[in-house]
Structure 1
């Protein structure tokens, strides 16, 4: 612990001596409730800003601080994000404009597992099917993890670094830097995050330790102020223990290459031309012995390993047009292909997986064309609309499928599917007065079933042992809301209601096939709201946020499964500009609207849950304009609780660990973080 505290002290001391006390600037708020919605249905936030609960280590952990988001916990890392009750491919997630898809058939590595939030400059969330610009439309919403453009008008450099230490051996480091001239730039960064098994509020140890790291590098050419060409690469890896399953993740290797071209101010009509090509390869290994004590049993007598991988290539071409002073349009085309293979062994000692050939089990291709227009209809009205068409091609490469402990011929082996799907939206925004904007939007998305719904984990349909012919899911949604800024007050309210045709439900209690994951198309609907209110006066800031969603499975006349309960955040902060002290109360209601055994590709309802209240406190110190030290105590009262949608903690007995109904959240947790920014 001494060397950890010394690291923090050195970071602070260097910059206290470099800058005089009068250079101190106003302290940025520790985000404890949520980043505010400043534009209709859009939240933009800085992943480097201090926040509570404990600063995030992966993409899902970061998103849970935004109203409407929840996380399905499986262990200490790699949870699955859920937006407005919708999980997995219903939330479109892009990293620097690129699609990343995991390999594990049981969602051990969702796309957010390969995201290191503090390596990015901005996170943008667009709620609902209200954009068509970023690949196949996410029916629940779209999330963009982005890095800011780099260009130096004169030789120079900048850098950012942070170090975090906390309970349960939490230990993070982040370093990024950019340098260049008017013609060239070089940007790079490294991240590392580690934590041991944590304890819940009852002192029970949760099988949850992990270690993650990443590095990224980009070389850019800027021959003039309007042109950028960039070549980039990213590499990352890690390992993670899981409390909800019989295997752990021992490899999460990602290799990425990308090239971007952008030309701005091409003509009076053409504002911008963009081209982006990328390659992503994910190599994932899971086993039952590296991160836990292997105990032979009749079902699993030998060490076992599974090694899926996925190769994703993509291309996007887009042009921004100015059709008059009041109209801007973006038109383009994008393409992606992903190929999934797997190799595995039930006896690593006698038949190592490394000696086996990879076998392709699925292939997906998509080509999409899109157009989005924003029209200023006078001084106080805006019309935003977009249309998109996606041509999908999918191939089932499995020769056999598993039914129980047996492999049987696959009835859809080598079958191909082609489908053209359409999505679009129309939104009207109106400024009622200075600082007050209202909006109403209608959106429609058609989502092709993903790998986890069609191929993985031995899923079946209601009538056959293959789910490959599952129908696409169609969502039509109405979004309404208002944003108001008035003196010390900031208010945002958003509401939605939708009709979902052919909702893809995963049902493990289907009559006659209990215990088997059956993929079903059902009729469903959801509705809900998010609201935020903040008051700032002098040194005080009070804010709160609320999120609620409810839904029905109309086909079965049951509640729609895996929906989180009503959630309320209340925060307070007192800041002098150099020091701050704040707190957060998170209150979650009881959830008794359940459909046990039904859910999504990540998990199914287990049963009802009681509500809970969690108190956290934080403080920060900004001695000058480049250094910030923040610290906090999460779950001050050491509450024992689990999120309603989290995975079952008793699905498999893990030697040496006491199992729980769900994967419980961490108990009392202390943390301290120091960050430094140089320009």
Structure 2
């Protein structure tokens, strides 16, 4: 029996959730289809989320979108102008915003943080996020807010659920089914019920895909299977008070074309407690407080989703199990002095501990990894205080500014006292000898200020807003920069790596009327002590080091309704970076990208096209990169054309479909990870993107 068929049976037996979800949807769809009334809806398939206000994009993660609706948080973010994704396989890519990755993008899930555990970044925070379980995703680009934690030099991303107090006893339901090429099948339910005093929400999803094929028909090691269940119980004693207890759990597997191991487990456990109280007509008009606990337990191995390669560096079955526990909280108070002054101020903080253990499968040559004790290698935390003020200078003029200060600390365990040329805790000498080194524990801490100020002006002659803002943010080195797979884990490196300091100017324009929505934004930044990763080469180990850098870029978007049925949209994104210390380009900068969309929508059915054009990238720094990947050399430009359509069956049910990469183009994004060349798979320089992909999605809501 093949490995794949065995896994399929195991998945069926161990994953009852998707089949329960499917049964629930099939039970509800017939009654939904009985209502034939039609109502005006927004565009069925989202192809280009637009900037709604200065530097802010808000999008509905439940809405169908092209490319094929997202399997994780990074998949959704890549549809927003300014974002790219570093592909490693079929799922769990790493988001890139304006050429920046990792902790430069501050990602919050219902106000809390979750950190991955893999030293090789197999499980970024977005790997634990199922976008369709949230009601709204908000992106704030640049260091233009201080409300949501430290380090947001590239931007802030908020995955949020909406709440409105029930006025009567009410129940609601949302669900979706998705099927597509390469065995793709997703199911989602979101059931909510409540009275004026209490409410309960239960949401769940499952997503699955087999290996996809690139445009040449070559199979890419990329299959995945994932599920999540989240629930919340709330108490609303009056219109102004809410207390909510939430809990969630998820797990899954993902195959990787970029690594000698796959993700055999992505266990997530979450618990949260929220309190909100409004005080209408008072100066001190709102208080918010929350506590959260997020746990990620990630297993990597070379035998669950592949067969160990006897000719590789890991010829026998091996596994590594890493986890991270994050505990945090936040308190925010809002003050409203008429329409002129508004202030939000508070404190936030988090602490996390990272551990790991290694071994092999039960009954193998190596000890069973689950029987091994966990080894703690890092503890990190931060505590911050912040305030953000909006000053309405005049009817059409606003000044928004904020400041925060964060105290961050880290403790490393078993750091080497001598820089290792092998990255394994010993220095290689001639004849296979190793210089013995001692292991020590060490701590470090830094206090880091951040702030911004932005001026916004509404033009009197047209519905136009112009703005300019300057922000400064200091970012403490993250786990991967201090202890990750590609850096030197020595005492000297741990103490020497400095916080990153970004000062950036953002300017732009927003226009919106009945038929036209348009925006353009540009930025230029100076980064002192930018943290650059030099990847291993030959006998040299990788290392993280500080450089000085300059960044610049622009994004623009336009959506125009020719009439009630025809609409066109286009977006543009460009990012640029320079390593001023070494006088060469910053690595892993995505090239210029443009998207052109055209949609015909009758109110009942729609059809549309999306043409994505990406320029070649010749500004590279080979062997250098970030905590996720490195520059592999120049990349060619490409164009991809996709089609989509939809049918509004009635007010409660919508059917959407798409063909991504219609002409079966073979291509790879410039920032994609390197392909490791697995047995049975065609090797390519970078992990290639999927070829022609067909998908069909049913959404129901009542």
TM range (shorter): over 0.9
SS in 1 for 2:370: helix
Verify the 8 A CA contact 1:161 1:675 in the aligned structure 2: yes
Partner residue, 2:432: none
| CA gap 1:620/1:410 in 2 versus in 1, 3 angstroms | farther
Task: Tell me, in whole angstroms, the C-alpha distance in 2 between the residues paired with 1:242 and 1:538.
Answer: 45
Partner residue, 2:700: 676
Moved more, 89-98 or 467-476: 467-476
**Deviations 1:486-529 (CA, angstroms, capped at 9, x unpaired):** 4422110000000000000001268xx76521111001011010
User: Does residue 288 of the first structure (1) align with residue 307 of the second (2)?
Assistant: no
Q: TM-score, normalised by structure 1?
A: 0.95
User: Does residue 245 of the first structure (1) align with residue 259 of the second (2)?
Assistant: yes
User: Does residue 437 of the first structure (1) align with residue 465 of the second (2)?
Assistant: yes
Task: Tell me, in whole angstroms, the C-alpha distance in 1 between the residues paired with 2:381 and 2:243.
Answer: 27
Partner residue, 2:614: 588
- Spell out the pairing of 1:24-43 with structure 2 (5 A cutoff): 24-43=38-57
Verify the 8 A CA contact 2:668 2:689 in the aligned structure 1: yes
Moved more, 574-583 or 347-356: 347-356
Partner residue, 2:425: 407
Partner residue, 1:496: 523
Partner residue, 1:628: 654
The counterpart of 2:78, out of the listed 64, 86, 95, is 64
Partner residue, 1:454: 482
Q: Unmatched 5+ residue regions in structure 1?
A: none
Task: Tell me, in whole angstroms, the C-alpha distance in 2 between the residues paired with 1:69 and 1:250.
Answer: 28
The counterpart of 2:668, out of the listed 635, 642, 664, is 642
Verify the 8 A CA contact 1:549 1:563 in the aligned structure 2: yes
| CA gap 1:13/1:40 in 2 versus in 1, 3 angstroms | same
Partner residue, 1:566: 592
| CA gap 1:319/1:405 in 2 versus in 1, 3 angstroms | closer
Verify the 8 A CA contact 1:402 1:458 in the aligned structure 2: no
Partner residue, 1:577: 603
Task: Tell me, in whole angstroms, the C-alpha distance in 1 between the residues paired with 2:281 and 2:438.
Answer: 56
User: Does residue 532 of the first structure (1) align with residue 549 of the second (2)?
Assistant: no
**Deviations 1:297-353 (CA, angstroms, capped at 9, x unpaired):** 473232111101000000101100113331110010011000000111268533111
**Deviations 1:346-373 (CA, angstroms, capped at 9, x unpaired):** 6853311111110110001211000000
Verify the 8 A CA contact 1:411 1:466 in the aligned structure 2: no
Report how far residue 645 of structure 1 moved. Answer: 0.2
The counterpart of 2:411, out of the listed 382, 395, 401, is 395
**Deviations 1:30-67 (CA, angstroms, capped at 9, x unpaired):** 44442111110000010111211101110000000000
Cα RMSD after superposing both structures: 2.0
**Deviations 1:361-400 (CA, angstroms, capped at 9, x unpaired):** 0001211000000111110001100000000111011255
The counterpart of 1:421, out of the listed 421, 443, 448, is 448
SS in 1 for 2:126: helix
User: Does residue 119 of the first structure (1) align with residue 147 of the second (2)?
Assistant: no
Task: Tell me, in whole angstroms, the C-alpha distance in 2 between the residues paired with 1:198 and 1:515.
Answer: 35
Aligned residues: 668
Task: Tell me, in whole angstroms, the C-alpha distance in 2 between the residues paired with 1:120 and 1:71.
Answer: 20
User: Does residue 332 of the first structure (1) align with residue 346 of the second (2)?
Assistant: yes
The counterpart of 1:364, out of the listed 380, 387, 394, is 380
SS in 2 for 1:86: coil
Partner residue, 1:480: 507
Moved more, 578-587 or 500-509: 500-509
SS in 2 for 1:397: strand
Report how far residue 412 of structure 1 moved. Answer: 7.4
Partner residue, 2:90: 76
Verify the 8 A CA contact 1:361 1:397 in the aligned structure 2: yes
Task: Tell me, in whole angstroms, the C-alpha distance in 1 between the residues paired with 2:27 and 2:637.
Answer: 43
**Deviations 1:236-276 (CA, angstroms, capped at 9, x unpaired):** 10000000110000000011110000000166111110110
Verify the 8 A CA contact 1:32 1:571 in the aligned structure 2: no
**Deviations 1:189-208 (CA, angstroms, capped at 9, x unpaired):** 10000000000000000000
Partner residue, 2:144: 130
Partner residue, 2:633: 607
Task: Tell me, in whole angstroms, the C-alpha distance in 2 between the residues paired with 1:242 and 1:142.
Answer: 27
Report how far residue 413 of structure 1 moved. Answer: 2.5
Verify the 8 A CA contact 2:45 2:645 in the aligned structure 1: no
Verify the 8 A CA contact 1:403 1:458 in the aligned structure 2: no
Moved more, 225-234 or 487-496: 487-496
Task: Tell me, in whole angstroms, the C-alpha distance in 2 between the residues paired with 1:266 and 1:26.
Answer: 34
Partner residue, 1:163: 177
- Spell out the pairing of 1:130-149 with structure 2 (5 A cutoff): 130-149=144-163
Task: Tell me, in whole angstroms, the C-alpha distance in 1 between the residues paired with 2:700 and 2:618.
Answer: 46
Task: Tell me, in whole angstroms, the C-alpha distance in 1 between the residues paired with 2:122 and 2:414.
Answer: 21
Task: Tell me, in whole angstroms, the C-alpha distance in 2 between the residues paired with 1:141 and 1:418.
Answer: 24
| CA gap 1:318/1:509 in 2 versus in 1, 3 angstroms | same
Report how far residue 538 of structure 1 moved. Answer: 1.7
Q: Unmatched 5+ residue regions in structure 2?
A: 1-18, 427-435
